Structure 1
Amino acid sequence: MAFDPEEFGVTPAGPDAVRPFSVEGLDVRGRAVSLGPVIAAIIDRHAYPEPVSRLLAEAVVLTSLLGTSLKFEGRFTLQTKTDGPVSMLVVDFSSPDAIRACASFEDAQVRELMEAGKATPEALLGKGYLAMTIDQGQHMQRYQGMVELDGISLEEVARRYFARSEQIPTEVRLAVGELFTRAEGEAPAHSWTAGGILIQFLPEAPERMRQADLDPGDAPYETDEGDFEEDDAWVEARALVETVKDVELTDPGISVENLLYRLFHERGVRLYEPQKIADKCRCSRERIESVLNTFSAEEVEDMTVEGKIVVKCEFCSTSYEFDKDGN
């Protein structure tokens, strides 16, 4: 089913933008995103092993979907801390559009999993936790929610987070792809692409949002969990999103508008103004200099090599050089 933007007077969001939408017939609100140059710049800058790049790209997609929902000037940070080969992922979104990301990992362990064909996201992360932090500024209290990571995907993390902290039925799909293009007479060119869609069930009657309780893991054996029927509208909406294929989220030729129309045209989907995403880092010479000024003379001396202190930003890879006096 094709979507004609001119017919509906809609300007396509294009790459690197989040498109909010609602499906009133199913009491659903959501966001869809397509990332092109932004995700390619982030991944290419770090040059991580392929499975680590894919995992970080998924985290960037999820952060884009969640961070752009902020209704105020602030920051949304997604961070993992685990015992797996990828011990940490950090994705930082600053409203209205700036995103940056990096990862920490043990290269030898990642390579070993790759050689064994077992470098799945779950294996790379291992066990630990994922924290989502909302910072509304220095005069407002920060909010942080945490989800245990026990061999689950980032998609499942989002579902559990909203089920436990917000009690909102949520479904999410994330995908990462690689594009190979070749112009006549030139070597093949490689780039990254990624996309995602998130929907939430938000009916006017709160009792319709009731969900089956998550298994706490300590119930007596063969305990009867009781009958539970989810709302028909949510069942339908979730089933539609579950049909989305990775290629539909990563193919630059398939716009988010086309995807949303294919999924929900029978119920009527309303599109809202897209929100752009940009590859921007918050680091600066002034920020780093202010941090260096908090160090003791002994600490500064330990950091000095041949009379210089070189600080490299883990997010954007920019290097800043200072003399030991901080200039």
Structure 2
Amino acid sequence: MSVAPDIEIAGEGDDDTVLPFAVEGLDVRGRIVRLGPSIDLILSRHDYPPAVSRVVGEAAALTTLLGSALKFEGQFQLQTRSDGPIEMIVVDFDAPDKLRAVARFDAERLNAALENGDVTTGALLGNGHLGLTVDQGADMTRYQGIVALEGEGLEEAAHAYFRQSEQIPTRVRLAVGEETLGSGDTRRNTYRAGGLMIQFLPQAADVASASVADEDDRWREARLLVDTVEDHELIDSTVSSQRLLFRLFHERGVRVYDPQAVHEACRCSRERIVATIKTFGDDDRQHMVGDDGRITVTCEFCSRVYDIDPAEIESGGGKPEGDAA
């Protein structure tokens, strides 16, 4: 599907989708992601403080931008480990469309940081590293790229990753916010997240490197256009991805491809948990048994609670997948 320069794009927002696009006049390829109910469900389950929810939302949008590019059914994971108040974030994207996320943070240090005005993503993450892992299955080699977190945000970390690992000129924009729905007693705030990524992929290999691309008028123009994107344009439920692309690139002409749906989904199951517990030694398994004689396991990602009879571990039996307390 092409968006011609003289066509006005109508339509409202397109929640929980990834929209690939190309601007052939600039030798640019990219994707826009908009997360609505999926990210709201992920964040509401954990009841994170707003500052943590914002950073987790950014990480989820970035992971979806990158993971949705996989051409096979595999797993893409983003993980941060750092010395800031938000000590760890893990976001899993199971291609082609499943997303889950979790974070660990120090509440006392978080409150102190916010009181000091340290509210940026870079300040809350601190120094450490960002790891990006692609897992294509047991028969394929896993790929992992690591980039340093040095008090910068996730956008800059993504730029550094592509400069160092992929050597593809890349620009990323991320945004997270809340939207008020309903009125009166039904009034509530819901989280939204969005992301936009463009990459310079010219036909001539000798101009593809970041250093040379910086001097290319096409890439300079594309970067400047993306830098005009405001946060609300990425998360406004009434502004579609196509409308935003039209605003940015209508003079050059932009081609959009089929959108890809995304939804929240956890890969936990009773069978997986039972199999994991079986790998523990007898003493470790005994310590897992509570006063009621049961083993209780809570999934860190989706907060689902599994109530397991220790006899299941010994016998190898189990209830159907998804049977949670």
TM over 0.5: yes
Matched, 1:255 2:240: yes
Partner of 1:225: none
CA deviation string 1:169-224 (max 9, x = no partner) = 000100001112342x43531111111100000001011123239xxxxxxxxxxx
Aligned equivalent of 2:204: 205
Q: Distance in 1 between matches of 2:180 and 2:214?
A: 45
Change (3 A) 1:111 1:189: same
User: Of the candidates 257, 274, 280, which is equivalent to residue 265 of structure 2?
Assistant: 280
**Which amino acid is the alignment partner of residue 51 of structure 2?**
P
Q: In the alignment, is residue 319 of structure 1 matched against residue 318 of structure 2?
A: no
SS in 2 for 1:203: coil
Note if 1:291 corresponds to 2:276: yes
Superposition map of 1:61-76 within 5 A = 61-76=61-76
Following the alignment from structure 1 to structure 2, what is the Cα–Cα distance between the partners of residues 9 and 170?
26
Paired letter, 1:99: L
Identity %: 51
Q: Could you tell me which residue of structure 1 aligns to residue 98 of structure 2?
A: 98
- Alpha carbons 2:149, 2:157 under 8 Å: kept: yes
8 Å CA contact 2:85, 2:125 repeated in 1? yes
Q: Which residue of 2 aligns with 1:52?
A: 52
Contact 1:147 1:157 (C-alpha < 8 Å) held by counterparts: yes
The aligned amino acid for 1:287 is R
- Cα distance, 1:268–1:92 mapped onto 2, change above 3 Å: same
Deviations 1:39-68 (A, max 9, x none): 111111110111111000000000010000
Task: Give me the whole-angstrom Cα distance separating, in 1, the residues matched to 2:134 and 2:165.
Answer: 13
Q: Deviations over 1:282-305 (max 9, x none)?
A: 000000000011111100111111
SS in structure 2 opposite 1:96? coil
Query: Residue 37 of structure 1 aligns with which residue?
Result: 37
2:289 aligned to 289, 297, 304, which one? 304
CA contact (8 A) 2:214 2:220 kept: no
Post-superposition offset of 1:126: 1.0
Shift of 1:111: 1.5
* Deviation of 1:308 (Å): 1.2
Q: CA RMSD in A?
A: 2.0
Could you say which residue in structure 1 is the equivalent of 2:22? Answer: 22
Q: Which AA in structure 2 matches 1:309?
A: I
Partner of 1:231: 216
For 2:14 and 2:163, locate their aligned partners in 1 and report how far apart those are by CA, in whole Å: 31
The runs of at least 4 consecutive aligned structure 1 residues that moved more than 4 Å come to 7-13
Output the CA distance in 1 between the equivalents of 2:187 and 2:13: 28
Contact map agreement 2:12 2:238 (CA 8 A) in 1:
no
SS of equivalent residue, structure 1 residue 84: coil
The separation in 2 between residues aligned to 1:290 and 1:149, in whole angstroms, is 35
CA distance in 1, matches of 2:214, 2:132: 30
User: Are the equivalent residues in 2 in contact too, given 1:13–1:19 (CA < 8 A)?
Assistant: no
User: CA shift at 1:120, angstroms?
Assistant: 2.1
Matched with 2:231 is: 246
Give the Cα separation in 2 of the matches to 1:187 and 1:47. Answer: 19
Say if 2:13 and 2:237, in contact at 8 Å, map to a contact too. no
Q: Which deviates further from its counterpart, 28-37 or 105-114?
A: 105-114
Which amino acid letter does the alignment assign opposite residue 170 of structure 2?
Answer: T
Separation of aligned partners in 2, 1:9 and 1:116: 44
Residues 9 and 242 in structure 2, CA contact (< 8 A), matched pair in contact too:
no
Once residues 253 and 303 of structure 2 are traced to their aligned partners in structure 1, the CA distance between those partners, rounded to angstroms, is: 45
For residues 182 and 12 of structure 1, the distance between their equivalents in structure 2, rounded to whole angstroms, comes to: 18
Retained in 2: the 8 A contact 1:40–1:193?
Answer: yes
**Correspondence for 2:85:** 85
